[in-house]
Amino acid sequence: MSVRRSESHIYMSRKARPLRRVRFRTVLPVLLILSAGLLVLSRLEHSAVREVRWHIAELMTPVLSAILVPLEPLRWVGQHVTKLADLTRELDDLKDENQRLRSWEWRAHELERKVGELTALSKVVRETPLEFVTVRVIANSSGAFVRSAMINAGTDQRLKSGYPVLSGDGLVGRVLETGRSAARVLFLTDLNSRIPVLVGRDGVRAVLVGDNGPSPRLAYALSGAHIAPGDEVATSGIGGLFPRGLRIGVVVETARGLRVRPHANLDRVEYLSILFYEAPSPDLAAVPERDGIPVAAEAGASASLDGGRDKAGP
Amino acid sequence: MRTFVPSVLISCLTLVSALPWGLPPDGRFVLPLMPIAAIHFWAVRDDARLVEWFVFLAGLTLDVLSNGPLGFWSAIYLGAYALSVLAAGSVRGVRLGRWLSLVGVMTVLALMEWALSSLYYFEFADLWPLALGSIAVVLFYPILAGALRFLDPEMMSSANPGLTAGGRN
């Protein structure tokens, strides 16, 4: 008891105590109500909230970049400790994979030769390689709500909303919002992410739907379509938001059914590449017409049949 | 001036929890809960050194940086502050009591987080990562408390052993 009395004596005068009590009873409820109000506004996706949030986030970008510098060794240690734990399992997997890939390598060379011959025969329009910029992740989402990251590049680096974002392992998501010097990337695991994809060798069309979990699900696949664990998933290019053929992940069997495990480790991405990819459809709208038919329709049709934006990735 | 050190340290913890640490998915909830441990640390020892609106701003900053709904972490941080202040009366000066009060506060907050996130999306959120985060904070608390005490000159210079070393009743 004596300790408690002495603390009060040290830290709070008799006059200060009622003042604290009043503040606790008035200011705190007001702030709690304000928080609840902000939550409601966020749920309604009020445009003012979005703008204010983005302005503040942009102001914080230099602060976060500066903090990252002294903490770099600590982050390095943390990441390597986690990596080491996964390494043994990964080594066994890689040995198996390597054996399988050797036989595929021969097959790929054969197919490459055939594709080259067929391309020459059908006079397919060549895809122009896409530009990209590599950026750094400076902040990560935490909590149950979103799967996104903030990067240290924005409109000053010619970034636009919608640009595809990749890591060395595959597609990560797309640019959601851009400020002058910062942008937010929406991960493909986010609840709001929808990506048209092709699954497996048969190229089954589906939509990859994020649900804030580590493995997004496949939706809108044709009934009776054969999708099995181990099938590769890549972007289909339908809708024009992403180029066709960007690697995403592999189908895995989970307790909640078939899911897609992304190749990119979204929790550990540090550097990301942003593709300067514009949706092709707006360009087609501006194409001059002759007798009501776009003059470049043939070229556009052959480009879409080509389906080969595979070379687009960095 | 007395509020300066707690404010700076809580700000640092908030900013650090927004950085990309490469944690596994279930570990995402641990870092945003660290400022709660700091809020509890000062609230149970001397709540006059914490300012309510600052606690609110710390939560709001994390909401902005993590791109979560505005008001979520500020409500959670204010909840932590309120619960810690209410618990302070009965545990002040008792080291084990303070730690036990943190267990209670974290339990209530985990449920509050779960309820808020479920309500926000109109579907049941996963309770496991929230519980895991809370357990991690409770276990990590003695180390964090030691570090905060070390960084707080007022606590280090205090002649009262009840404040600096957890009390001897």
**Segment B140-152, tens digit of pLDDT:** 899 998 898 888 8
Give contacts of B 1-60 with A, CB under 8 A. 15-25, 28-29, 31-32, 45-49, 52-53, 55-56, 59-60
Mean of the pLDDT values across residues A191-208? Answer: 90
Of A3, A57, A82, the CB nearest to B22: A82
Nearest CA in chain B to A42: B69
Looking at the domain that runs over A132-275, which CATH code has it been given?
A: 2.40.10.340
Residues B84/B105, Cβ–Cβ less than 8 Å: yes
- To the nearest whole angstrom, how far is the Cα of A312 from the nearest Cα of chain B? 28
Q: Is B138 helix (H, G, I), strand (E, B) or coil?
A: helix
Give contacts of B 109-168 with A, CB under 8 A. 113, 116-117, 120-121, 125-126, 129-130, 158, 160, 162-163, 167-168
Between CA A154 and CA A194 the distance in angstroms is 23
Q: Rounded to the nearest 10 degrees, what angle do helices B30-46 and A2-11 cross at?
A: 100
> Which amino acid would we find at residue A171?
L
| Lowest-confidence pick of A98-102, B25-29, B93-97 | B25-29
Q: State the best of A21, A35, A211 to mutate against chain B, taking most chain B CBs within 10 Å.
A: A35
Residues A215/A233, Cβ–Cβ less than 8 Å: no
Selection from A74-88, A92-106, A254-268, B22-36 with the highest mean pLDDT: A254-268
| Structure confidence at residue A188 (pLDDT) | 93
| Structure confidence at residue B68 (pLDDT) | 83
The DSSP element (H or E) to which A81 belongs, if any, is helix A47-122
Mean of the pLDDT values across residues A52-76? Answer: 80
Cα-based torsion angle of the residue sequence A203, A207, A212, A215 in order, rounded to the nearest 10 degrees: -20
Of B48, B19, B49, the closest CA to residue B148 belongs to B49
List, in order, residues 6 or more apart from B160 with CB less than 8 Å away.
A3, A6, A7, A10
Between CA B86 and CA B79 the distance in angstroms is 11
Of A6, A63, A148, the CB nearest to B67: A148
| Structure confidence at residue A16 (pLDDT) | 56
| Structure confidence at residue A284 (pLDDT) | 52
Phi, psi of B101 (to 5 degrees): -65, -35
Mean of the pLDDT values across residues A177-198? Answer: 90
pLDDT band at B168 (very low <50, low <70, confident <90, very high): very low
Better pLDDT: B34 or A55: B34
Better pLDDT: B59 or A284: B59
pLDDT band at A288 (very low <50, low <70, confident <90, very high): low
pLDDT band at A301 (very low <50, low <70, confident <90, very high): very low
Residues B39/B32, Cβ–Cβ less than 8 Å: no
> Tokens in use for A218?
């496949």
> Tokens in use for A35?
């928080």
Side-chain-facing half-sphere of A103: CA atoms under 13 Å: 4
> Which amino acid would we find at residue B59?
G
Q: State the best of A2, A33, A140 to mutate against chain B, taking most chain B CBs within 10 Å.
A: A140
Taking CB atoms and an 8 Å limit, are A75 and B22 in contact across chains? yes
Residue A187 DSSP one-character state:
E
Contacts of B15 in chain A (CB under 8 A): 63-64, 67
Of A1, A27, A142, the CB nearest to B18: A142
The DSSP element (H or E) to which A282 belongs, if any, is helix A281-285
Interface residue A22 vs chain B (CB under 8 A): no
Q: Model's pTM, two decimal places?
A: 0.66
Mean of the pLDDT values across residues A194-198? Answer: 93
- Whether A313 has a pLDDT exceeding 50, the answer reads no
Residues B94/A70, Cβ–Cβ less than 8 Å: no
Of B133, B128, B23, B124, the closest CA to residue B73 belongs to B133
Residue owning tokens 């939509």: A207
pLDDT band at B159 (very low <50, low <70, confident <90, very high): very low
Taking CB atoms and an 8 Å limit, are B16 and A67 in contact across chains? yes
- Whether A134 has a pLDDT exceeding 70, the answer reads yes
| Lowest-confidence pick of A215-219, A302-306, B142-146 | A302-306
Tens of pLDDT, residues A224-247? 788 889 899 999 988 888 988 899
Pure H helices in chain B: 4-18, 30-46, 52-65, 72-91, 95-121, 127-151, 153-157, 161-164
Phi, psi of A104 (to 5 degrees): -70, -30
Contacts of B72 in chain A (CB under 8 A): 35, 39, 42, 143, 145
pLDDT band at A290 (very low <50, low <70, confident <90, very high): low
Q: State the best of B1, B62, B67, B127 to mutate against chain A, taking most chain A CBs within 10 Å.
A: B67
Residues B104/B68, Cβ–Cβ less than 8 Å: no
| Structure confidence at residue B74 (pLDDT) | 93
Residues of chain A with pLDDT > 90: what percent? 19
Residues of chain B with pLDDT > 70: what percent? 89
| Structure confidence at residue A314 (pLDDT) | 35
Q: Are strands A217-219 and A204-209 parallel, antiparallel or unpaired?
A: antiparallel
Tens of pLDDT, residues A79-107? 777 777 778 778 888 888 887 887 788 88
pLDDT band at A18 (very low <50, low <70, confident <90, very high): low
| Lowest-confidence pick of A16-20, A84-88, A96-100, A167-171 | A16-20
The sign one gets for the Cα dihedral B148, B150, B154, B159 is positive
| Structure confidence at residue A287 (pLDDT) | 52
| Structure confidence at residue A299 (pLDDT) | 41
| Structure confidence at residue A19 (pLDDT) | 65
Better pLDDT: A6 or A125: A125
Tens of pLDDT, residues B58-92? 999 888 888 888 899 999 999 999 999 888 877 76
Residues A289/A295, Cβ–Cβ less than 8 Å: yes
Please measure the distance between the N-terminal and C-terminal CA atoms of chain A and give it in whole angstroms: 68
- Whether B103 has a pLDDT exceeding 90, the answer reads yes
Average pLDDT, chain A: 78
| Lowest-confidence pick of A9-18, A270-279, B97-106 | A9-18
Contacts of B24 in chain A (CB under 8 A): 82, 267
Mean of the pLDDT values across residues A47-55? Answer: 79
Q: Note the Cα A275 to chain centre separation in Å.
A: 12
Residue A73's Cβ-count burial label (10 Å; 0-12, 13-18, 19+) is exposed
